Structure 1
């Protein structure tokens, strides 16, 4: 399966763009261009389905406002949908900028290994399968207990019969899996591919700088190679700036959602008794998915910072002692510029990194501690 998907194109982003096309977020696909009206109808229908999910679950949450435990449980589940739908809105608004950036990278001629392509594809497949399995498992468990997986308003009474309950569950699944979950994974795959591309190119620049050996016979070649390295580094910095402009709100929503998710889960764990094992398992499963997604972003952001800083180290470790003075001065400029790391920004306030991930978890726990004192 992986092999057939990888054969779609030599382009690193081929399967990411195909996934975006499948979930109605990439009208630039050849099929979508050939059938623009049909694809627009599909895209708008998917948008409407996600909005319907938010509306019916919002009404359902309001209807159970008197039951604190059930209310918090529903909020915890719906927070995932609000997080993902908000990201979709940002992605659609800035989709043209994403398209320009991706095709500029494709036209740059930069290469990536087949192992990297396969790893990215496997990550998307695994996350899609894991997320869908979790949602399916808890939906099936809710059906087994004659309940809805999430409280939602329906134009009929879901509890009137088994058929009504099954119909309501199917409607919720249809309006959640593709319009919300799969769209979120498609966007995540695209964002992660962009960051991984930058990390790999920074590693390549490090290797190229270290391999420069200046002699009287290689002077011309070394100067040309160094000039190309500088140009590529400037280009990567520009790509990073473009990505920050596109995704800073995206990452901000991600961090806020994880903070609230952790806070709600911790609060509910103190309010729900151990005898309600199914409810606790639901909290834990959704929290694990949220933390895993947040960790992927922060890990890749941290790797990007590390590799951009390592470029300065690679410049220092090169054989610059034997270089002529003018080339040494150029190397010093490169070294000084590389000492300022490239990073992904969350709302222009913090860089996506492991430290930010830890701070996000700490913020969630701090809010929980305050709320727990108030409730107690």
Structure 2
């Protein structure tokens, strides 16, 4: 990690466009075992001991309390809802509980696909996960309704495909134990109001089919996470905000594009500077993301970065935006996960959950 940071600093330090560099120190992890401990069959599938906030969230969910986990980036929030879901399914498989299902809502297809890989990687007997979104073929949708006990979708599909046709989902809804709402901090304004109404409709249908699901929210750090979660689901929610995850050393650089016309004071465009930085980082052996506000900007920055690094390294730089075919998006996501891609220029279609 130190070598990677030194390499990164070597790219930006000394450049007159760097006007400020801030260092944030790392911190060690704080571990805690949940009470009662996670079953050995499930603990063997985990990457390591639980961080303290993960154990807190698991104990609350086990007790039937809705929870919002509001901690930093890369703090293992996904495991805070994957664990209670997996435990409920494992208990049913071992004859210690009733069959359970879970509905997971994500704001983007990319994030849903990423979490589908995480659920699949658990390899837990009895856990059958499936995406149900606009990219899902008709045959796969029918299969998901009949067989999946963990369905990953988005608010639009919940509104247009699940709730209006709830009779087709009667078994799934009657067994619904957990509802996951990830990236809660994005649910603001009119969109947030719409999602709040959707969750209330979902709760009414669950009551009709005899279930009362626990809501599990994941959020970046916000001022009042419990208050926002309560407004969304219409019920009491407990906040878990004490982050026990480790964090590496981080640097924040403030970049000011150089002046290209001293007379008018005109500066180089932010897009050209982004492409230059991305190209230098990739050429220096680093992996980097660049985020742009529009599809056209993402395509332009990626093309300029490819031109700068040449055809060999250029094959490791891609743009990512909405509008691509599902197969193209999955190919880029696989390249990221496998390490083939060194640079990605994306819109917010990829931003959430990275």
Give the TM-score taking structure 2 as reference length.
0.24
More strand by share: 2
Which structure has the bigger radius of gyration? 1
Give the TM-score taking structure 1 as reference length.
0.23
More helix by share: 1
